[in-house]
Structure 1
Amino acid sequence: MSEQKESSVLFSLKELMNLEEDRIKQEEDAKAAAAAAAERARLDEERRKREEEEARIRAEEERRAMEERKAREEAARLEAIRQAEVEKARVEAEQRARLEAMNAQQQHERKLAELQHDESKKKLRKTLYGVVAAVVVIGGAATYFIVDQSQKAEQERLAAAEQTRQLEEEKKKIEQQAKESQAKIDSLLSQLTSAKDEATRLALQKQLDEEKAKQDAAKKAGGGGGPRPAGGGGAAKPCNCAPGDPLCSCL
């Protein structure tokens, strides 16, 4: 009996020791799990802070890049406005000079036509004096000559009037074309100053250059002057009149 009791006591002690060892092992495992969890939490926190810092740095860099881009765009816009104003002033000055030259040319042409008409009247008066002096001798021939000279003078007057009219029409046409071209250039300059992106500015600048080229071509085409009055600069016709002939038109 005593041996069975002793054996039972030993078994109980052994069980208690096993239980104690299990408890100690569980406590150690719990401590290790808590330490691992704490380490993971620490690493996660460090990673979160690192990612937040990297995001902050990226956001700051993007903000600086955006500000620099806006500053460049604003500088380009201001430069485009300045260039547009300079170009507009140059075009307007050229346009004024061209119109002044056209006005001066038209006045010159009108004076030439008036001089030509006055010269025709002088020739007709001289002819009439000669005809009156010789009307008794050559009445029929004188009458024909007077009518012929009158018709020629009238034709010259009509030709001068037609040339003046053509000059007026040409001037009006050129002025209208110049106004339309200038209006288009002004519109393109206005669009260029308000353009938001580089592609639009390049397209508008191309259209502006083409319109300026057209305007320069029109200036060159119109620079040769208008029609000249008939007889103003032609070669003198040979005179076949007999000396002292009162009906001679070479006088």
Structure 2
Amino acid sequence: MSEQKESSVLFSLKELMNLEEDRIKSEEAQKAAAAAAAEKARVEAERAARDAEEHRIRTEEERRRNEERRSREEAARLEAIRQAEIEKARVEAEQKARLEAMAAQQHHERSLAALQQDEGKKKLRKLLIGGAIASVLVIGIVTVVAVDSAQKNEARIQAEAARARELEEANKRLEAQFKESEGKMAGLRDQLATAKDEATRLALQKQLEAEQQKQEQLRRGGGGRPAAGGAPASGGGTKAPCNCAPGDPLCSCL
């Protein structure tokens, strides 16, 4: 009878030990599952933050490109208006010079016709002829000055167009550098997310920070980006001499 009781007690103890072992295993499994879920949530949160940052960078870059495109279009529109005004002024000056020359010629012909009827007014005839010649010379000088002014304006327009092209090329180079930097940063982030040891993560983080600093320098202008419109910034230097014709209403020196 006592042996049966001892056997029953041992069986109960074994059952209790098995139940305790099952409980411990269940708790460990739950802890492992919770840790795995937490790690998965952390990785997903990092990926979401990285995707959000990349989206923000792409959005900002697109906004900057749109602003630069609008600035170039506005500059081109203003330049076209300016060139049209210069051409209009040149044509009007040439027409005015031709009209004045025709008026002087007609006046001279009328004067000669009147003088031919009165041979006694030779002195007056000489004076009128001299005046007509002087008028023709003045009109010729005005025409030359107008043409010269138009040529100088044309040269200035070509120089400004060249500067605009240089600015566009600089913007293209800067945009290419931005794209290259974004690609490097995306690759470094991917490597950082899959890095196994701390030393590799630190090295990748340093490279990522260096690339971010480089992109920030590019965003600020890269230290060599030309100013808007291609015009050099004023630093207190000497002013360029004015080459405009006297009385030119379109002269930029005024």
Report TM bin, short chain. 0.5 to 0.7
For residue 227 of structure 1, the aligned residue among 218, 226, 229 is 229
Does residue 183 (structure 1) correspond to residue 201 (structure 2)? The answer is no
> Residues 142, 174 of structure 1: CA spacing in aligned structure 2 closer, same or farther, 3 A cutoff?
same
TM superposition shift of 1:122 = 2.1
TM superposition shift of 1:166 = 1.4
Identical pairs, percent:
31
Q: What is the match of residue 69 of structure 2?
A: 103
SS at match of 2:228: coil
> Residues 185, 240 of structure 1: CA spacing in aligned structure 2 closer, same or farther, 3 A cutoff?
closer
Do the aligned partners of 1:195 and 1:201 also contact (CA within 8 Å) in 2?
Answer: yes
Distance (whole Å) between structure 1 residues aligned to residue 168 and residue 73 of structure 2: 11
Distance (whole Å) between structure 2 residues aligned to residue 156 and residue 116 of structure 1: 11
TM superposition shift of 1:142 = 3.0
TM superposition shift of 1:214 = 2.0
5+ long unaligned stretches in structure 2: 1-20, 102-135, 233-241
Distance (whole Å) between structure 2 residues aligned to residue 200 and residue 73 of structure 1: 20
Do the aligned partners of 2:90 and 2:150 also contact (CA within 8 Å) in 1?
Answer: yes
TM superposition shift of 1:240 = 9.9
SS at match of 1:138: helix
TM superposition shift of 1:229 = 7.0
Do the aligned partners of 2:90 and 2:147 also contact (CA within 8 Å) in 1?
Answer: no
Distance (whole Å) between structure 1 residues aligned to residue 216 and residue 157 of structure 2: 35
Distance (whole Å) between structure 2 residues aligned to residue 151 and residue 164 of structure 1: 20
> Residues 198, 78 of structure 1: CA spacing in aligned structure 2 closer, same or farther, 3 A cutoff?
farther
Q: What is the match of residue 161 of structure 2?
A: 161
TM superposition shift of 1:118 = 1.5
Distance (whole Å) between structure 1 residues aligned to residue 199 and residue 47 of structure 2: 17
TM superposition shift of 1:181 = 1.1
CA deviations over 1:14-42 (Å, ceiling 9, x no partner):
xxxxxxxxxxxxxxxxxxxxxxxxxxxxx
- Give the TM-score, by structure 1 length: 0.58
Q: Highest Rg: 1 or 2?
A: 1
> Residues 154, 117 of structure 1: CA spacing in aligned structure 2 closer, same or farther, 3 A cutoff?
same
Do the aligned partners of 1:106 and 1:167 also contact (CA within 8 Å) in 2?
Answer: no
Q: What is the match of residue 250 of structure 1?
A: 249
For residue 82 of structure 1, the aligned residue among 32, 45, 48 is 48
Distance (whole Å) between structure 2 residues aligned to residue 65 and residue 125 of structure 1: 89
For residue 121 of structure 1, the aligned residue among 87, 91, 103 is 87
SS at match of 1:134: helix
Q: What is the match of residue 37 of structure 1?
A: none
CA deviations over 1:36-91 (Å, ceiling 9, x no partner):
xxxxxxxxxxxxxxxxxxxx9xxx89999987776665444333222211111111
1:134-149 to 2 correspondence within 5 Å? 134-135=100-101, 136-149=136-149
TM superposition shift of 1:198 = 4.0
Do the aligned partners of 1:109 and 1:229 also contact (CA within 8 Å) in 2?
Answer: no
- Total equivalences in the alignment: 185
Q: What is the match of residue 53 of structure 1?
A: none
Do the aligned partners of 2:145 and 2:245 also contact (CA within 8 Å) in 1?
Answer: no
Pairwise CA RMSD: 3.9
SS at match of 1:227: helix
The one-letter code sitting in structure 2 at the alignment partner of 1:226 is: A
